């Protein structure tokens, strides 16, 4: 037993627990691998030839085209790699922004619970949650006239509410804690009490929620792209699956299988990682 480990923050304890979770660590590895792929595309290391039409139509997998080509002779592997970047683009932007928004709104609503600010935020969340998601995206895409970020905005605008509800509940609970009263007794301004003493204790929710939103955003992106409401300039797994519908009828499955597998493995890994993260961060388990 090394005593140095006792002198650790709750974060360090959570990381220690996560490290011992084998499935959690494997899934984290898979997610990181995808991230490296996406990073490589950003940096221009690979996946740049996704739009070139150079090969024959429906070339079989081989040394030149690893996973074959599609109906117009584009390299499927290159396209799948580039789609990873698209997925991370959407996932990161939506996860970070919607979590920040949800955390802030939930924090405010919880801290001012039962006052007008809370009522307003609750009302807003109720309205947003009542609109069917795909209808909302379609309307927004139409309203923004082909803005490439219409999809992002729609997702952020709808995904933050779940986070906000969770954070609101947690903040209402934390507000009763004596350390918050102690901060008031010291004369700490409300802004500092909220941002320094209350919200840091909701980080575990935000972190888990961010991973869940990330997965949700990637899945939605694929579906929206499949429906033609999502990615317009670029390629995504959803677009690949959309174009593969004709191919599948002709008996060429490579495009479909590739896109689906890339998506499936990432979503699966991310979900498992989110579970492990939740276990590791659970304050009831950590503080014991």
Partner 1 sequence: MSSALLSIRDLVVEFSTERGRVRAIDGVSFDLAPGETLGLVGESGCGKTVTALAVLGLIPSPPGRILSGSIRLEGRELTRLGEREYRHVRGKLISMIFQEPMTALNPVLTIATQMTDVLVRHQGMSRRRARDRAVEMLALVGIPSPEKRIDDYPHQMSGGMRQRVMIAMALSCNPKLLLADEPTTALDVTTQAQVLEEMVRLQERFGTAVILVTHDLGVVAETCRRAVVMYAGRVVEEAPVECLFEQPRHPYTEGLLASIPRIREEKLPELPTIPGSVPDLLHLPPGCRFADRCPRADELCRRREPKLELRCDIAVACHHPNRYAGCRE
Partner 2 sequence: MNRETAPLLRVEGLSKHFPVRGGFFRRVTGWLKAVDDVSFQIAHGQTFGLVGESGCGKSTLGRAILRLHEPTAGRVILDGTEITALPRRALTAARRRMQIIFQDPYASLSPRRTVLQTLLEPMEVHRIGTPRTRREKVLELLHIVGMGPEVLHRYPHEFSGGQRQRIGIARALTLDPRFIVADEAVSALDVSVQSQVLNLIARLQRELGISFLFISHDLAVVQHISHQVGVMYLGRLVEIAPAEDLYRDPLHPYTRALLSAIPVPDPKRRRKRIVLQGDVPSPLAPPSGCPFRTRCPEAMPLCAERAPRLTQRHDGRAPHRVACHLY
Q: Please give the residue ranges that form the binding site for partner 2 (CB under 8 A).
A: 6-11, 177-179, 181-189, 192, 197, 200-201, 203, 283, 287
Nearer to partner 2, 114 or 249 (CB): 114
Nearer to partner 1, 15 or 264 (CB): 15
What is the per-residue binding string for partner 1 in 17-46, x denoting contact by CB under 8 A?
Answer: x-----------------------------
Decide which of partner 1, partner 2, none touches 17; Cβ closer than 5 to 8 Å per partner kind: partner 1
Q: Is 1 in the site for partner 1 (CB under 8 A)?
A: yes
Integer CA distances (angstroms), 235 to 3, 72, 204, 270, in order: 52, 14, 34, 21
Decide which of partner 2, partner 1, none touches 181; Cβ closer than 5 to 8 Å per partner kind: partner 2
- From the CB of 279, what's the least distance to partner 1, in Å? 12
Nearer to partner 2, 1 or 185 (CB): 185
Decide which of partner 1, partner 2, none touches 4; Cβ closer than 5 to 8 Å per partner kind: none
* Options 12, 15, 16, 200; binder of partner 1; rule CB under 8 A: 16
- From the CB of 27, what's the least distance to partner 1, in Å? 21
Write out the binding residues for partner 1, residues 99-128 only, by CB under 8 A: none
Decide which of partner 1, partner 2, none touches 177; Cβ closer than 5 to 8 Å per partner kind: partner 2
- From the CB of 269, what's the least distance to partner 2, in Å? 29
- From the CB of 191, what's the least distance to partner 1, in Å? 36
Handedness of CA 215, 210, 151, 85 (dihedral sign): negative
């Amino acid at each position: 037993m090394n005593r140095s480990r006792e002198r650790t923050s709750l974060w360090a304890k959570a990381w220690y627990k996560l490290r011992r979770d084998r499935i959690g660590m494997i899934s984290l590895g898979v997610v990181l691998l995808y991230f490296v792929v996406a990073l490589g595309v950003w940096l221009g290391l690979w996946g740049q030839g996704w739009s070139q039409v150079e090969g024959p139509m429906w070339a079989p997998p081989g040394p030149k085209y690893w996973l074959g080509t599609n109906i117009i002779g584009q390299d499927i592997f290159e396209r799948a790699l580039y789609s990873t970047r698209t997925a991370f683009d959407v996932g990161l932007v939506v996860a970070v922004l919607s979590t920040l928004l949800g955390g802030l709104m939930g924090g405010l609503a919880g801290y001012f619970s039962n006052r007008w600010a809370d009522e307003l935020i609750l009302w807003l969340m109720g309205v947003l949650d009542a609109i069917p998601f795909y209808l909302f995206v379609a309307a927004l895409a139409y309203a923004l006239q082909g803005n490439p970020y219409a999809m992002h905005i729609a997702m952020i605008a709808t995904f933050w509410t779940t986070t906000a509800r969770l954070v609101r509940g947690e903040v209402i609970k934390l507000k009763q804690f004596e350390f918050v009263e102690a901060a008031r007794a010291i004369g700490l301004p409300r802004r500092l009490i909220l941002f320094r003493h209350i919200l840091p204790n909701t980080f575990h929710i935000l972190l888990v929620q961010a991973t869940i939103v990330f997965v949700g955003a990637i899945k939605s992106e694929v579906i929206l792209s499949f429906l033609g409401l999502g990615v317009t300039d670029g390629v995504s797994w959803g677009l690949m699956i959309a174009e593969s519908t004709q191919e599948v009828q002709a008996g060429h499955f490579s495009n479909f299988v590739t896109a689906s597998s890339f998506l499936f493995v990432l979503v699966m890994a991310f979900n498992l990682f989110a579970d492990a993260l939740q276990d590791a961060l659970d304050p009831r388990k950590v503080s014991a």
